Amino acid sequence: MPATLRQYKAAAVQAEPGWFNLEKSVQKTIALIKEAGEKGCKLIAFPELWIPGYPYFQWRVNYQDSLPLLKEYHQNSLRPDSEEMQRIRQSAKDAHIFVSLGYSEIDGHTLYTTQIIIDPTGTVINHRRKIKPTHVEKLVFGEGTGDSLNTVVDTEIGRLGHLNCWENMNPFLKALACAQHEEIHVAAWPVYPPASTLRHPDPFTNISEMQSEHVTPAYAYETGTWTLAPAQVVTREGARLNLPKRLQDDEAAVDAEAAVIGNGFARIYRPDGFRAVEDPAKTFEGLVVVNVDLDEGLLTKRLADFGGHYMRPDLIRLMVDKTPKTLIVDAGNVDKEPESTLERLGLAKPLPEQDEE
């Protein structure tokens, strides 16, 4: 259906998460949702693994040092059918806002890099997981199943989609989003170091400038979407918490993290890849707000709609399997329609009734 609201404000978060602290993370999430609502925004976009923060320690510590951090990270990750999730959903309802939220999700004893979209009634209308964790992330997170390819949903503010980190660089996922006629996109980013830290043979693709100046605008102009790119900020105390436990009282070790401290890189781009707002300062914490006009994307797609007239499905097609897979299949019900991951996790349950004051 066509969007009924074509001009509105949207916000991308650039802030420090509540590292290794679920309650602090939830409180910060709710506060930012409330602030966005008070600013008149219809959408707020959070970074990848905002709750309880992107575990960038995984790139920097050895196996033994990683274990206490990994245990603490798991203990402070978010269960989908939990009181904490209900509070976040209620905050979206109270603020009358769409929320794209990235979090570390507990399912059984495995963590997943998850994104959900909550609508202004507090209903979860989309749930997906990163389909392939990147490099060392595979030591922390599992992979999304078939319904994680449901990346775009039809809403009153347009066809809204989201992806995690380098999924925004994946040409197949971009083609999938184009085919779903995406209009506004959340490119959720984690913590990245700046280019000044780059050492051979580490590729240029692995620093913040690549994501903010190349990957994100490329997503915008290739898909013809408004693209919000939220990002995380690390303070000195945040850097301390991501050090091995044995080094957290070592000020010299914290000093050595100087390059990643305060390296925020949130951006917002128009459908033609042009900057929509001024870049925030790297140390800025808060909301980057943009005035969205969906009609600004009409000419971009009119000239190059890769989900329509500018593609040749008789020559090139993308085959996908959106069926969720489980470890157990009942031989007596092999033809039964599989339950979606969203439903299996309890995210389809309605919010509890609020007591009237």
Residue 343 known to be catalytic = no
List Cβ neighbours of 67 (8 Å cut-off, separation of 6 or more).
none
Q: Which of 41, 42, 48, 182 is catalytic?
A: 48
Do the beta carbons of residue 113 and residue 52 sit within 8 Å? no
Q: Which of 42, 93, 165, 178 is catalytic?
A: 165
Residue 48 known to be catalytic = yes
* Separation between Cα atoms, residue 220 and residue 226, nearest integer Å: 6
HEC sequence for 7-71: EEEEEEEEECCCCCCHHHHHHHHHHHHHHHHHCCEEEEECCCCCECCCCHHHHCCCHHHHHHHHH
The two beta strands, 41-45 and 98-107, are: parallel
290 phi/psi in degrees, rounded to 5: -130, 150
* Separation between Cα atoms, residue 324 and residue 344, nearest integer Å: 10
Do the beta carbons of residue 159 and residue 152 sit within 8 Å? yes
103 closest CA partner among 122, 117, 121: 117
Residue 165 known to be catalytic = yes
Q: Which of 28, 130, 174, 301 is catalytic?
A: 130
* Separation between Cα atoms, residue 316 and residue 187, nearest integer Å: 26
* Separation between Cα atoms, residue 162 and residue 101, nearest integer Å: 10
Integer angstrom CA distances of residue 57 from 11, 72, 190, 242: 28, 12, 12, 5
List Cβ neighbours of 130 (8 Å cut-off, separation of 6 or more).
48, 112, 113, 114, 141, 143, 144, 148, 164, 165, 167
Catalytic residues: 48, 130, 165
